[in-house]
Amino acid sequence: MLSFVTSALALTTTLKEPVEATTKADHWAVLVAGSNGYGNYRHQSDVCHAYQIMVNQGIPKSNIIVMAADDIANNRENPFPGKMFNKPTAAGTPGVDVYEGCNIDWSGNTVTPDNFVKVLTGDSAGVVEAGKSKVLGSTSKSKVFINFVDHGGVGLIGFGRTVMHVKQLAAALKTMYDNSMYKELVFYLEACESGSMFPDGTLQPNMYATTAANGKESSWGTYCMPDDKVDGKSIGSCLGDLYSVNWMEDSDKAESGETLEEQFKKVKQLTAKSHVTEFGDKDVAAEPLVDFQGDTDAARVASHSSVAKDAALLLRSSMDARDAEVASAYHRFMTTGSAAAADELTGYVQDRKVADARFHAIVAAAGVNGILEQPTPDQVDFDCHYEAHTAYASSCGDWSTGALKHSATLAKLCAATNTASVRAAITAACPN
């Protein structure tokens, strides 16, 4: 009888091992820098730094998808050709080149909202750009990490001179849920007013997100001029973004047992210029960082938290993200007389002037006095806002970085009037 029991236990063990192996999660990462232009250096350096973290912590390169314009490393304004840095160093100390080995799968004009949706939803059949077919191949067993870095506005995240609306993002995440493309998903979002991208209904079950700011404020660049020096040489642009640098420098330490929630609390404390915010499933937040920023499938562990870094430098060298590209162009023009910087600076200033005038005209056409000075409503009518957003793109042209702050104006108009009136005001201000 004993020998029968022993044999049965041995058989059970033999059968159990492959079952456990098939239930272990696989790990994927989607890393996106939506912007272009040297004044937005920080976005691409953030994303390539994130790439290094994912690789160093074990996510296979085949499972990491990077979208970036790739116009920084070899930009004529870059004093270190072929390199990018996400942190300053003193003269005599070489910096860490985050661009080295950073595999960029989608570059140039392929970095668009439509292609981002295709990547997230695994739609390789829908990819029409030659040679561009790397999309998520995740399944119901996968742990997926998404990091998006760019400009933003209420209900909008930027892609160069176009944008993605919160309703488009929500639809993509819903498709991922419907098609069982993840077991758990984590989304880190760096943009102005990024907290507006996760209203109720955007995140699906087993999704968790943190954002650089709430839905009513700017995010912040960091390691900006004059603290933008690597090996004593000025880069001429902010090296990183405050929220992004804070989470990545924490992740670089790869402290054993640290959870997503613990990282959120540290980053919230350190990112003192904006309100870092979290959304979604707190059970996911209780899991180890390396389950999403690496390739582990660890059980939950005991609490672990510490803050040990030069927070004073990060804050001292920070600036409002909406001003960072303008400050970069001005700094380079004043210090080097660069014609490219002069063109950038002129373009940025003109863009702001045109956008401000256009939205003043929209408000006037809507007949709602004083709306520009009012706060963004706590609850945005995103159905009206989406209609207004599409009307603006149709009548006034693509959203530019200068216009993005006025996405809040559309939210205010939707709260003060109705969809038809807002659309009519936009058409009146921007006749075709």
- Catalytic residue positions? 151, 192
Buried b (16+ CB within 10 A) or exposed e, 258-286: bbbbbbbebbbebbebbebbbbbbeebbe
Look at the alpha carbons of 259, 260, 265, 270 in this order and tell me if their dihedral is positive or negative.
Answer: positive
Cβ neighbours around 214 below 10 Å, total:
16
CA separation for the pair 161, 265 (Å, rounded): 33
| 3-state secondary structure (DSSP) of residue 138 | coil
CA separation for the pair 354, 411 (Å, rounded): 20
Assess contact for 74 and 82: CB atoms under 8 A: yes
CA separation for the pair 44, 70 (Å, rounded): 8
Phi and psi, residue 183, nearest 5°: -90, -45
CA separation for the pair 164, 386 (Å, rounded): 10
Strand ranges (DSSP E) for 315-428? Answer: 319-320
Assess contact for 70 and 40: CB atoms under 8 A: no
Name every residue whose Cβ is closer than 8 Å to that of residue 338 and which is 6 or more positions away in sequence. Answer: 77, 332
